[in-house]
Chain A
Amino acid sequence: MSLDTQKLDGSQRQQIMMSVQQQLALQNAQELLQKLSDKCFKACVAKPGSSLSSSEQKCITSCSDRYMDAWHIVSRTYAERIKREQYRH
């Protein structure tokens, strides 16, 4: 097996970094969507009918908005906690 000593050039590296970034963003979005559906279906659809009623739709919309609000509050609180912990050591 011969060792490939060729190095990455700047644009190759950029491409790889962007691709990784995009994949992680996609993964994050998918995770969020999954959580939203789980939570809001559970909260809003008591007995599944033949279609989503308008009240169920309204509930699902509010629910997903509130979940996103909660996500941002949790994210900020967590970041602040980490900062506090860092300064302790």
Chain B
Amino acid sequence: MSLASLANDPELQKFVAEKELENQLTAQVHHLTNVCFDKCLESNGNLSELSSRHTTCLQNCVDRFLDCTTLITNRTIQRIQQGR
């Protein structure tokens, strides 16, 4: 078994590509949880459970953060195209 045999194995390549994608998505979940925990739970340690208000806030936080990223991406592309 050599690096060449690893690299030339299509099933393994497909598996690694899938895992890399999965890993990226998981990393994004970690990041979103990090941001939204602070935003929605206000770093409150002593909650015995999450209320529906907290749950809604977390859901909104995820969607709004992603909207924010999309907006910034589009704006940045726009600026590049305008040559600024």
Contacts and interface: CB of A to CB of B under 8 A. Distances in A.
A77 B63 contact: yes
Nearest to A3: B4
Interface size band for B: 35 or more
Given A31-B30, A78-B28, A66 B47 contact: yes
A78 B30 contact: no
A60 B45 contact: yes
Majority DSSP secondary structure for residues of A touching B = helix
Contacts of B4: 3-5
B40 to A, nearest CB: 8
Interface residues of A, number: 40
Interface in B48-62: 48-50, 54-55, 58-59, 61-62
Interface of B: 1-2, 4-6, 8-9, 11-12, 15-16, 19, 22-23, 25-30, 32-34, 36-37, 40-41, 43-50, 54-55, 58-59, 61-63, 66
